[in-house]
Structure 1
């Protein structure tokens, strides 16, 4: 569903809407995925004109889910703050607080793949977000790079997957790690996942290690950048890797 007003256009900066990644990635493998991207929180920043109209309760259910996830993000950020020896509200404030932190949902659809050994659902990457929450349809496919090898995440009923993204790794000066992960496909089952990325406002906040995480023996390992600049830095690195792999 690439046509019409529901299609996204990343070249022009319009990331919301439907898209497809049926193309070769930097490592030469085929990415085998369709997706739908839309901002789900705060409510006043949503564009309901592109939200699916079917099923009939999609908007109501998704809005309620986003509200619950936003409350969960606060709880997780409090725990992470305390883990760094900070006041419990510190990390949430640093990523935009209740009004500015954005929740972006990406619904991933991985079709049946006749030759899964030649394709990936999503290539290996870390998320730029502060936190990422993931639900799925109980079909395995999410893999994490752990201790030098790829490990498939278990499908646990009635659970939600959460991992830390680049934003928290930067603020913590590397004390919390943004996990390298990828999505796999198979030829027997369709896989669907619902990922929600908790992102700071693109231009308002400078991401850099917090002073409390820096010392003479642990100098800052990340330069100051806005969230938008961090995204561009990652895209530049990815394009350079693609050129090297040609």
Structure 2
């Protein structure tokens, strides 16, 4: 079996990679593929999302069916939470798990990142202890958004399955079907006059299978392609879709896990709402048998997802010193 690091370009695989990438050439705006989901040509949809996943590992979708008003409400209640006094935000502060509120500090900068992280689905894994009670509409809005986001994620996974020559349900079922886990992280990046001293989000690939992100209008999201960092263009009401480590591993490298990061803005507040889709923690994840064979042997080891996550996060903690 070949070394996974030949296929996974995340900082978790190369402890020195973030330091190298910090000085890489910064290009202009990225021509990240944009897929209009409001078309009747199913074959075209399949081809577009598959090609984007193979060549870029990221694409944006428009006319995706999530009501614009709901997306606006999501952003309103999210910002309202971060506008609360620090004591109220700490009511849902992190403890031993990754869920909850946290504020990161860097010397010389008041804060470079605040975030709120909690599980959305399935109901059996939700801990409402980490869902803010203020603003009062927070739970209702996020539960409705979760229903729409799950539908969109399953559609995308269906098209990607068909693009691989598999049944439409293949990738969804391989992630656990109804037991697949959905999590949200609200990233809050205050304006910083010293933005050159830190990144809002260090360079990384996503541990899970898929991430679907809604940003506000302030630029800052970048992807790494062709040896340079490229700004992702903001499109009103679009959802940015990232291929994560597990889809890369399940497809035996046919889909690309895109390296990406968030930069700070000197004058404007930037917020983003990524929803992460991951296998159940005790599931075995590796190349699908249908996509491997004598001429295409497995490139990745089959691992329990919990073990993969723990190993990756431990490496991230070591690597943060190279990222900031």
Q: Give the TM-score taking structure 1 as reference length.
A: 0.88
Q: Distance in 2 between matches of 1:197 and 1:23?
A: 26
CA separation of 1:146 and 1:200: change in aligned 2, threshold 3 A: same
Shift in Å at residue 238 of structure 1? 3.3
Match of 1:47 among 108, 127, 136: 127
Question: Do residues 8 (structure 1) and 103 (structure 2) align?
Answer: no
- Structure 1's consecutive aligned runs of 4 or more residues displaced over 3 angstroms after TM superposition are 1-5, 236-245
SS at match of 1:34: strand
Say which structure is richer in helix: 2
Match of 2:153 among 34, 58, 73: 73
Shift in Å at residue 73 of structure 1? 1.1
Q: Distance in 1 between matches of 2:314 and 2:127?
A: 29
Partner residue of 1:197?
A: 276
CA separation of 1:243 and 1:119: change in aligned 2, threshold 3 A: closer
- Residue by residue, what CA displacement relative to the aligned partner does 1:162-215 show, whole Å, maximum 9, x if unpaired? 111111111000100111000000111010011110111111x11110112113
Q: How does 1:1-246 map to 2 (within 5 A)?
A: 1=86, 5-9=91-95, 12=96, 14-23=97-106, 32-98=112-178, 100-203=179-282, 205-239=283-317, 241=319
SS at match of 2:191: coil
- Residue by residue, what CA displacement relative to the aligned partner does 1:14-70 show, whole Å, maximum 9, x if unpaired? 11110123249xxxxx98210001111223432223312232221111100001001
SS at match of 2:222: strand
Shift in Å at residue 240 of structure 1? 5.3
Report the RMSD for the aligned CA atoms in angstroms: 2.3
2:214 and 2:237 in contact (8 A); partners too: no
Partner residue of 1:27?
A: none
Q: Distance in 2 between matches of 1:70 and 1:243?
A: 35
> Relative to structure 2, which stretch is displaced further, 147-156 or 208-217?
208-217
Name structure 1 gaps, 5 residues minimum: 25-29
Q: Distance in 2 between matches of 1:235 and 1:47?
A: 22
Name structure 2 gaps, 5 residues minimum: 1-85
1:31 and 1:122 in contact (8 A); partners too: no
Shift in Å at residue 141 of structure 1? 0.7
1:105 and 1:195 in contact (8 A); partners too: yes
Q: Distance in 2 between matches of 1:177 and 1:31?
A: 32
SS at match of 1:21: strand
Q: Distance in 1 between matches of 2:153 and 2:319?
A: 33
1:133 and 1:197 in contact (8 A); partners too: yes
Q: Give the TM-score taking structure 2 as reference length.
A: 0.68
Q: Distance in 2 between matches of 1:223 and 1:120?
A: 32
Q: Distance in 1 between matches of 2:271 and 2:321?
A: 31
